[in-house]
Amino acid sequence: PVISYGSTAATLSDSALYPSFHRVVPPDTVLASITAQLCFKLNFTRVGILFINDPFGSGYAIDFGASAEREGIEIVTSQPFIGGDPASMRDAVDAIAAVDVRVIVVVCLVPDMRGLLDAAEVHGMLRTPGYSWFLNGFDGPE
């Protein structure tokens, strides 16, 4: 048996595929659903997603998109980026800025957060009234 303290991928919940896998944290579907419900309660109807282009980020983006759709929230754009690649991060943030979305759901790891926020700062998307950022419950080296 495997007991994980940090694996949140929803696909690992399939007991037919992973009969010996257990975890002590909820799958990403739970956090994605709660984030979509919070967006709904705050009347955020247009959302953009920035996500690391790996199984974690892609899976979370899909889970959030499905939850958002159930809440009647429009996903205006969903932009992947390559972890550790500043140019890819800038391109993803540029695409978000181009559609003028004010609510951004970010799925990344700690090492990429600085690059994303630096790119957002260039567009005036930080410290500016009217923007809201939702960050997944990432963890890792600070």
Q: Does residue 114 sit within a domain?
A: yes
- The count of structural domains within the chain is 1
pTM of the model: 0.86
Contact call for residues 51 and 107 (beta carbons, < 8 A): yes
Please, which residues bridge with residue 47 across strands?
75
Per-residue model confidence as pLDDT tens digits over 61-117:
999 999 999 999 999 999 999 999 999 999 999 999 999 899 999 999 889 999 999
Confirm whether 66 is domain-assigned.
yes
Bridging pattern class, strands 74-81 and 46-52: parallel
pLDDT of residue 25: 85
| Separation of alpha carbons 50 and 89, rounded Å | 9
Quote the domain boundaries for residue 46. Answer: 27-135
| Per-residue model confidence (pLDDT) at position 141 | 45
pLDDT more than 90, % of the chain: 73
- Stretch 52-56: mean pLDDT, rounded? 92
Sign of the dihedral defined by the CA atoms of residues 61, 66, 71, 74, in that order: positive
* Structural domain contains residue 39: yes
Which domain CATH number covers 63? 3.40.50.2300
